[in-house]
A and B are shown apart, each in its own frame.
Chain A
């Protein structure tokens, strides 16, 4: 059975309310009974004293009773009295058949008071309370009916209130359903939502935003990746179709094959970069955990890229603290290489690339500063996305696939670090890499 939250809420509410109403009603009835009995007792006390005062011992165990005329209660037989001598012998009673009647009745239907007079006689005054009891039952019934009415009204109100309180949940679940059905722009209208649920709603909206962004990035990645492969395939197909359309001269065949080889190389490049990215993203941990001297890695990268820098008239310099991290030297070399290569390729002739290492506590920082063309502010949030390129035409000239930075970041993140970028168009860019350094003292490590 599917129990809705609303039903459960109202059931609990009804249970608690029933208990409260029952306790309250019971207390009211009990209190009213008590006060009624107290009244009866006070009345009987009065009668007993009046009877006691009216009693005159006349000797020989006999008494003379001269009741005041206003003791109508006894005349109307609403109450009775029994006077016994000190020996227990009944001397007088209000009604000759009384003892018989008393026995007929259950004790609970009578209320009696006994009083020992100064003369030694015992006066018992009592009255029948069956009528009061009936009255009390009627009162209790009224209280119960009122309680049930209150309960019914409250449960109805509770059902209504619970429905209203839970309405935002319906809205939230509607939005979530729309989201899972593929409408990624579905959001919960937060301004209409009550405060407790508002937090849930905004949290969910944030999650929806992240999901939306992830799906968008995935979509763009797929589109870009397919473009990256489709373009060279188009070249291959068009060129071969053209070449095979009719007999060509050897020169034309040669040119066609050259074009095809270029296309094949572009495809190879794109596929290899894609595989590298998948590798970098699927290996959450670093491939190898060994001490890596960042400064040696930097020197290696600079040596490797020196010819490229020279060709473009870019000066390379490195300086700073000794850093040793735990990780995979080859991966870190690839990552740093991608960053520095970008800094060289997107530089100006006569520009420079400066690499500085800093050690502060347990974290190391590598700064790669270039004097290049810079990155427009609106592009900075996307530069680490797969296949993102600021200027497609320029990237093609220098020959990137838009994966270098994304691979680099994946590697730094796998090493427990991160990379950020600040840039100013026309002035240059600063890439800051943070990496946790290993506790081993670098000076104690054997040089590599």
Chain B
């Protein structure tokens, strides 16, 4: 799951990146509003963590522009502004959640996961596809009730495919959602991960559309 963190406080941004990396998010950081605006135009993020008081272009404006452009990306507001008026204004502008600073990292991570689940149309943490069960809270995968040992990347790809099941997912889309900006990957790495998933989950779960990408049938 790829997340954009918009935070101008460098220390906090770095802590957030480290913590979210460890929670298996692919994290990009934008230090000001202009940078965030640019990155939102380049990448389709699964979620945005947005500080309202960032320099150059305020979080309010970013949120407004994002929703005006019709983007459905879930946005979590993370800010020192905790007045009820500010919360109401942010939610009414199209924010999906609001967490005032200071906050617990575990809560931020749990809220982000919930946001991403809800935005895919299924708030339940458990997904079932044929013989495969995915527990998104515990990040565990079962094949006919037997636990399957997946690497973080493999899990992320499977979770993404199942979240978008019934629709074609291209290699570049997988790259975009699994790796942050900082990572340097070749798309054949994806093929290697898919091959490993097929070995562990059985050949039928993930189908290949030659030359286009992969699909998990609904």
Contacts and interface: CB of A to CB of B under 8 A. Distances in A.
B9 A238 contact: no
B83 A230 contact: no
B56 A227 contact: no
A263 B101 contact: no
Which size bracket describes the interface of B in this complex? 20 to 34
A230 B19 CA distance: 19
A238 B80 contact: no
A238 B56 contact: no
B42 interface: no
Contact of B81 (A223, A237, A259): A223
Nearest to B8: A393
Interface string B31-57: 010000000000000000000010110
B32 A234 contact: no
A230 B80 contact: yes
Interface string A221-235: 001001100110111
Interface in A54-113: none
Residue among A235, A236, A237 with max Cβ neighbours from chain B (10 Å)? A235
B53 A238 contact: no
A234 B103 contact: yes
Contacts of B18: 242
A128 interface: no
B175 interface: no
A388 to B, nearest CB: 13
A231 B101 contact: yes
A237 B80 contact: no
Contact of B11 (A235, A241, A391): A235
Interface of B is mostly: loop
A241 B101 contact: no
A164 interface: no
A227 B103 CA distance: 14
B65 to A, nearest CB: 20
Contacts of A227: 53, 80-81
Contacts of A393: 8, 32, 55-56
A238 B105 CA distance: 6
Nearest to A393: B55
A242 B15 contact: yes
A287 interface: no
Nearest to B101: A234
A63 B217 CA distance: 157
Given A223-B81, A392-B53, A234 B12 contact: yes
A210 interface: no
Contacts of A391: 55
A239 interface: yes
- Name, among A223, A238, A263, A391, the residue most crowded by chain B CB atoms within 10 Å (CB to CB): A238
A393 to B, nearest CB: 4
Interface string B197-218: 0000000000000000000000
Nearest to A228: B80
Contacts of B103: 234, 237-238
A238 B55 contact: no
A242 B19 contact: yes
A235 B103 CA distance: 9
A234 B16 CA distance: 11
Contacts of B105: 238, 241-242, 245
B122 interface: no
6 contacts: A223-B83, A227-B53, A234-B102, A239-B11, A245-B22, A393-B8
> Closest 5 CB pairs between A and B?
A393-B55, A234-B101, A230-B80, A227-B80, A234-B102
Given A234-B80, A259-B14, 18 more contacts: A227-B81, A231-B9, A233-B101, A234-B9, A235-B11, A235-B12, A237-B102, A237-B104, A238-B12, A238-B15, A238-B16, A241-B106, A242-B15, A242-B22, A242-B105, A245-B22, A392-B55, A393-B32
Interface of B: 8-9, 11-12, 14-16, 18-19, 22, 32, 53, 55-56, 80-83, 101-106
